[in-house]
Amino acid sequence: MMVAVVALTHVRNLFAVVVLFGLYSFLTATVMVALDAVDVAMTEAAVGAGVSTVLLLGALHLCRSEEEKPAHKPWLPLAVTIGTGLVLVYGTWDLPAFGDPEAPIHTHVAPRYLQDGPRETGVPNVVTAVLASYRGFDTLGETTVVFTAGIGVIALLRRRRHVREDKNT
């Protein structure tokens, strides 16, 4: 994945960039399965590697810009990025180790959801139970965000181009 991302930074042909992005999404979905997040992996594979790649290819076809121009040497952004990265690495010193069962994330609400969830909701998949029942408001907000994005894209792209040119003449 690191190789894919470094290649993506340097490649200038935009079609190759989109293909590398699809590859990166698939690798992310595989890593998520290794982290036991099966719902998230299915969503990431369907949405990231499927729909995102299709939308990027559609936009690329409309923008017709295949190559990116060479930039001036990016020393300042590289310095900013490396500086931010070092500060964040310093911030991860105190985080719990990988797979640590004593971490705070495992001791507050999660055991209650895992024990009482299937009994109270009758649904063995705890992720669906939490998403739809315990945290149903968040899912309502998310559906509204998707709806708003659809409305926004409709508002931006509704008129055809030749209709706009007729109005200008």
Partner 1 sequence: MKNDMILRIVGKLLIPFILMFALYVQFHGDFGPGGGFQAGTIVAATMVFYAIIYGLNTARRVLPDWIVEAMIAAGVLLYLGVGFAGLLLGGNFLDYFVLDADPVVGQHRGIFWIELGVAITVCGVLLKIFYLFARRGPD
Partner 2 sequence: MSFFSHYDYWVMLFLAMAGLFIVIARGNLIKKLVGLAILQTSVYLLYLAPGKLIGGTAPIVHTAFTLYSNPLPHVLILTAIVVGVATLALGLALAIRIREEYGTIEEDEILHSDTAPTKNESAT
| Interface residues toward partner 1, by CB under 8 A | 38-39, 41-43, 46-47, 50-51, 54-55, 58-59, 61-64, 120-125, 127-129, 131-133, 136-137, 139-140, 143-144, 146-147, 149-151, 153-154, 157-158, 160-161
Instruction: Show the CA angle centred on residue 125, arms to residues 121 and 126, nearest 5°.
Output: 70
Task: Supply the minimum distance, in Å, between the C-beta of residue 112 and partner 2.
Answer: 11
Between the two ends of the chain, the Cα-to-Cα distance in Å is 51
DSSP letter assigned to residue 124: S
d(CA 47, CA 55): 11
Structure tokens at 58: 């559609």
In a 3-state reduction of DSSP, which class is residue 71?
A: coil
Cβ–Cβ < 8 Å for 69, 34:
no
Question: For partner 2, what does the binding mask look like between residues 4 and 33, x meaning CB under 8 A?
Answer: -xx-xx----x--xx--x--xx--x--xx-
State the amino acid at position 92 in one-letter form. Answer: T
Task: Supply the minimum distance, in Å, between the C-beta of residue 133 and partner 1.
Answer: 6
Considering CB under 8 A, how many residues would be counted as binding partner 2?
A: 86
Mark residue 73 as left, alpha or beta (left: phi above 0; alpha: psi -120 to 50; beta: remaining).
beta
Pick one of 161, 166, 168, 169: the residue that binds partner 2 (CB under 8 A): 161
Question: For partner 2, what does the binding mask look like between residues 71 and 110, x meaning CB under 8 A?
Answer: x--x--xx-xxx-xx--xx--xx-xxxxx-x-x-xx--xx
State the binding partner of 79 from partner 2, partner 1, none, CB within 5 to 8 A by kind: none
Question: For partner 2, what does the binding mask look like between residues 41 and 60, x meaning CB under 8 A?
Answer: --xx--xx--xx--xx-xxx
